[in-house]
Chain A
Amino acid sequence: MKTPQQKVLIIDDERSICKFIRLSLESNNFSVVEAYTGEEGIKEVIASRPDIIILDLGLPDVHGLEVIKKVREWTQIPIIILSVQDSDEDKVQALDSGADDYLTKPFSVPELLARIRVALRHSFPEKSVVFKAGNLEIEWSAKLVKISGQSIKLTVTEYNILSVLAKYAGKVVTHRMILKEVWGPNAVEHTQYLRVYVGQIRRKLQINSLESEIIVTEAGVGYRLVVD
């Protein structure tokens, strides 16, 4: 193994979940630290300085949101939250207060690994002239969008939205974040605009078949631009 082992902190009160995450991560060359309460978790962030945190929102002592806020006071370590299906509000709130990504329980190990990789990559952003994801290419300097080498004509707004998604490629971007970055802080409630624009972008990118969905809708949360 060339790369040094990266350290993952799991904060979850469910021991069985901690265990299976630990097992699958360790076999993928991560080192793992476990914490079972929010308090413990915050201490462990200071003590063991992990590279990434996997945080369950439903903790016995404090709400996961509090943990995020505390951690974000002094570090930008990527945080992936775990939540149950029916708590969209919590997810959005967590993402807006600084979490990097989320996974809905139940989730699969490949999903978890993919999220971790994306999150870690983003904490070391690569500066590049051209963004590439699947058959999509964006030339930042020329504001040029290409699908399979063919350039696509996007409006300014469409381009802006796509570039926000590309900037956080692989990660979920909440509606709020997109709206804020594209239209400014006063537009954050107008999610319906977004839907129409995203529909528009999808059609222009001619992504209609099942296999090559590049912009994924995360119900109730936001969008994700799929990489690899």
Chain B
Amino acid sequence: MTEVRRPSPDDLLRGIQKSTQSHAGQLRVFFGMCAGVGKTYAMLKAAQEKASAGLKVIVGLIETHQRQETAALLEGFVLIPKKKMKYKDTMVEEMDLDQILREQPDLVLVDELPHTNMPGSRHQKRYQDIEELLNAGINVYTTLNVQHVESRNDLVQTITGIVVRETVPDSFLQRAQQIQLIDISTQELLKRLKEGKVYLGDRADIAAENFFKEEHLTALRELALRFIAEIVDVELKDQMTVKRLSGWNTNERFLVAVGHRPFSANLLRSARRMAYTMNAPWIALNVNTGEELGAKQLEMLSKNLALARELGAEVVTTKDANFVKALKQVIEERNVTQIVVGQPNIKSFFRKKRNSVLEQLLKETVNVDIHVIRQESEAVTSKLSLKLPKVYFRTGLLTYFLNLIFISAVTLLCYKFIALLGYRAVGFIFLMAIVLVSVLTTIGPTLFTTIISSLAWNYFFIEPRFTFAIRTYEDIMMGATFFVVAVISGLFTTRIRKQEADLRQREYRTRVLFEIGKEFAAAKGERDIASIAARYIKQLFSANVCVFKSESERVLAPEPINFSNIPVDSKENAMANWSLVNKKKAGWGTDTLKESVCQSIPLLGRSEIIGVLLFYPTQKKKLLVEQEGLLYTIVNYFAIALEREILETKSRNSKLLEDSERLYQTILNSVSHELRTPLTSIIGTATALQDSATLDNPETRKPYMDDLIDSADRLNHVIENLLEMSRLDSGVLSIKKEIVDIHDLIQSTLQRQKRSLRHHKIELNLYKDPLYCHGDYRLLEHAFINLVLNAVTYSPKDQLIEIATSLKHKKQVIIEIKDRGKGVPEDSLPKIFNKFYRVPGSPAGGMGLGLSIVRDIVEIHHGNVYGQNRKDGPGAIFTLELDSVETPLSIKES
């Protein structure tokens, strides 16, 4: 399959991020081949320009190395004094990061990017300090020499023979908007060195001898120039990606295998260089083949993995006894196009086997280029023991004891039948016993069994019996066979056990992740999801968890979302916030604030950061690489589940908002129509009345007057309905429930609405006894008016409107309003109480609010309202049912 050459979204994003640089500060690096080229000087010069342009520039930290020209340039800048800290009884000084953050300058100058901070500082490395400054929106100028660039570190070591320990990850340098090369010729530099402009005093000679050799400097200069050239190349590609000029980068992807060997670091750097020049993503893969690793090797492995992350690799760990198979799987899954492998040049049995890895790769992969990096011999420290599975002696004493009994029993049994069997046969019986033991137990008890078996066989059965003497070679051979069989089958058993254990562990891991996934999918709400994550983490790592959601990109919610009883102190809170802002882990087991009792892990969703999880281990033991992997996978799952929940809530809310906007629009349209119609009529009638001919004639004046009043009444009714609706909807409405005399209510209301009812005949059929309800008089009155006016609106003039009350089952007051209009179309019946619903084809006037208000009011009173068509001819019947209450007091008086 040929890939279409087109930029991935990530590439585009990276390009855009660089070209727009949102709110994060900008980083400018003054870059040179070594000390003394004038980086600090150039930085100060550039800063002066900015300061004279009116920006607030402060000096976070500058090492002048007592160079006078440099010191002179410092004048006029605000210098942040170094922070004094106590470390092991001595006072040490470090850059005061918090003070700079408080000052909030536009630009801060921080010299010597690769510096390592004293223990107890917030970050291990100065570049981490700078990262925080950048994230706070502060622009930073800094200086760097090529030997401190992580990916060039090994080359520098090869060239100069000097090990440089302080390095800066390339991924950090990628953040720089500008890397400015400060370059002078080697001769010039040496001249400056001699003049004492670089280091002062005797130190100049020492430095020159070690580092400032002409051939070294030339090589370093070339390295620096090449580094800059590469960056320019990549930047050009980024630009092309953004501007869609041409020449898309092919979607190359690198893969490098990382192990616990020191050589892995070299491999990583090589891979990084290649990937970077090709502007390709790269994966560092660690395959756990089940090899037992010592503490040192484990440490080396996690160091290598950390290095890989620092260099910008995506770290993948898998577990598979077959290294090549695992490699192949990742290659296929991730579309890897280039592999970087090492070729150690040691010739031994095991190395040959390793070479066969290369051969297998060549044989089994088709579309992948393989780069082989030759290894210098000094790095090889592998021993035979690394390759062989470690021998276990962990079995409990009980097993040894049981074996002793078993062999004693065998001995006893054979002793009885020795005459029958002969000692050779007994020897075979012992051999069988050994095989049995080796299959059932591990190698320790097997060897133990072998020893006692051979002793027992020799002592009790071989002639001369009851001595340890052996005469024949066959017997010696037989004894040796015991051991060979024991060792071989013991080793095989152990290996099988180990594989079984691995398999079980992998199964366990898969099952755990499956279960979590299932539970997350079923969870309802953020709190639920958080408590599921907390429960699993507690089970698996015996650690407590506190989850904080982010309120914005920089602010965490004050309260955790899961029910946790861990007191989170202000320091941990600050750390969690730091994790949020910097999107990085911090605290226990990391490089940042490692003295903390917990680790804060940012919850990174697919599109944004969701919050921070605080991980409180109950034991201080560092997590194994696999455990760490599982933890981060679970946290990742959790973050994605939480994000999904948050997005769902958001989309629900936006749906609601959309609905309410639509409703708002409907109301607006309908209200403006409803208010305008009577107003038009009022203005029209009033202006007609201005006409003296109309005004002077009482005959013509009367209908105009009536119209005027009717329109005004209608307007008033519309407004009352609107007000009532908004009160009912907002819940502001305070209901005053009291005893309501229903007949009083009906009569008073009809009295008051006399005018509106004047064109219709009203017939009242009231129940013989007074009916009482418990409710809000005004609201019920409103509901009743709306029903009556509805009947008036929808029935022709002079028609009869019947209003009847009755008592159903002695506990329900029924109010019926029957009209002789057209009735309601059957399919509209269920909808007539909906807000803004109007029966299609109904006369102008009304907005479909009246009945919805009736329904709302009746619901508040736990009553019922429904409409139906009359059976005895056209017309509608609206029925209102309310709970009746007993007469509140006996009114028996004389």
Contact = CB atoms under 8 A, between A and B. Distances in A.
Interface of A: 85-86, 88, 106, 108, 155-158, 191-193, 195-200, 202-203, 208-210, 213, 216-217, 219-220
Interface stretch (B141-149, B481-489, B593-601, B886-894): B886-894
B99 to A, nearest CB: 55
A196 B764 contact: no
Given A106-B716, A219-B778, A195 B739 contact: yes
B747 interface: yes
Contact of A217 (B745, B891, B894): B745
Given A196-B888, A220-B777, A155 B893 contact: yes
A196 B894 contact: no
Contacts of B764: 208-210
Interface of B: 709, 712, 716, 720, 723, 727, 736, 738-741, 743-745, 747-748, 750-751, 754, 762, 764, 766, 770, 772, 777-778, 781, 887-889, 891, 893-894
Contacts of B889: 192-193, 196
A208 B887 CA distance: 20
Given A195-B772, A199-B741, 7 more contacts: A85-B723, A191-B738, A193-B889, A196-B772, A200-B891, A213-B747, A220-B777
Given A106-B712, A196-B887, A220-B736, A210 B744 contact: no
Contact of B762 (A85, A198, A203, A210): A210
B888 A157 contact: no
Contacts, number: 73
A71 B891 CA distance: 41
A199 B888 CA distance: 12
A41 to B, nearest CB: 27
Nearest to B739: A192
Contacts of B712: 106
B541 to A, nearest CB: 61
A203 B770 contact: yes
Nearest to B757: A210
Nearest to B769: A203
Contacts of A197: 891
A85 to B, nearest CB: 6
Given A191-B738, A208-B766, A217 B748 contact: yes
A167 B414 CA distance: 130
Contacts of A156: 893-894
A210 B781 CA distance: 16
Contact of A199 (B736, B770, B778, B781): B770
Contacts of B762: 210
13 contacts: A106-B712, A108-B709, A155-B891, A156-B893, A192-B889, A195-B738, A196-B891, A199-B741, A200-B770, A202-B744, A209-B764, A213-B747, A217-B748
A53 to B, nearest CB: 25
Nearest to B744: A217
A219 B777 contact: yes
Given A85-B720, A193-B888, A196-B741, A213 B748 contact: yes
B891 A86 contact: no
A217 B746 CA distance: 10
A199 B744 CA distance: 7
Given A86-B723, A203-B770, A217-B748, A198 B777 contact: no
Which of B740, B741, B778 neighbours the largest number of chain A CB atoms within 10 Å of its CB? B741
A196 B741 CA distance: 7
A192 B888 CA distance: 7
Contacts of B747: 208, 210, 213
Ranked nearest first, the 3 interchain pairs of A and B with the lowest CB-CB distance are A155-B893, A192-B739, A217-B748
Contacts of B739: 191-192, 195-196
B713 to A, nearest CB: 9
A197 B887 CA distance: 11
Nearest to B743: A199
Contacts of B716: 106
Contacts of B748: 213, 216-217, 219
A202 to B, nearest CB: 7
Given A86-B723, A196-B887, A210 B751 contact: yes
A99 B888 CA distance: 31
Which of B723, B745, B748, B762 neighbours the largest number of chain A CB atoms within 10 Å of its CB? B748
Nearest to B734: A89
Contacts of B754: 210
Contacts of B744: 195, 198-199, 202, 217
Contact of B893 (A88, A157, A217): A157
A155 B738 contact: no
A193 B772 CA distance: 12
A203 B709 CA distance: 34
A108 B754 CA distance: 14
Nearest to B755: A108
Contacts of A158: 893
Nearest to A191: B738
B685 to A, nearest CB: 16
A203 B891 CA distance: 13
A213 B751 contact: yes
Nearest to A156: B893
A11 B845 CA distance: 36
A181 to B, nearest CB: 17
A202 B723 CA distance: 33
A143 to B, nearest CB: 13
A208 B698 CA distance: 35
B765 to A, nearest CB: 11
Contact of A195 (B723, B741, B750): B741
B857 to A, nearest CB: 14
A92 B57 CA distance: 69
B496 to A, nearest CB: 85
A168 B25 CA distance: 81
B683 to A, nearest CB: 15
Contact of A219 (B770, B781, B888): B781
Contacts of A203: 770
B239 to A, nearest CB: 65
A203 B887 CA distance: 15
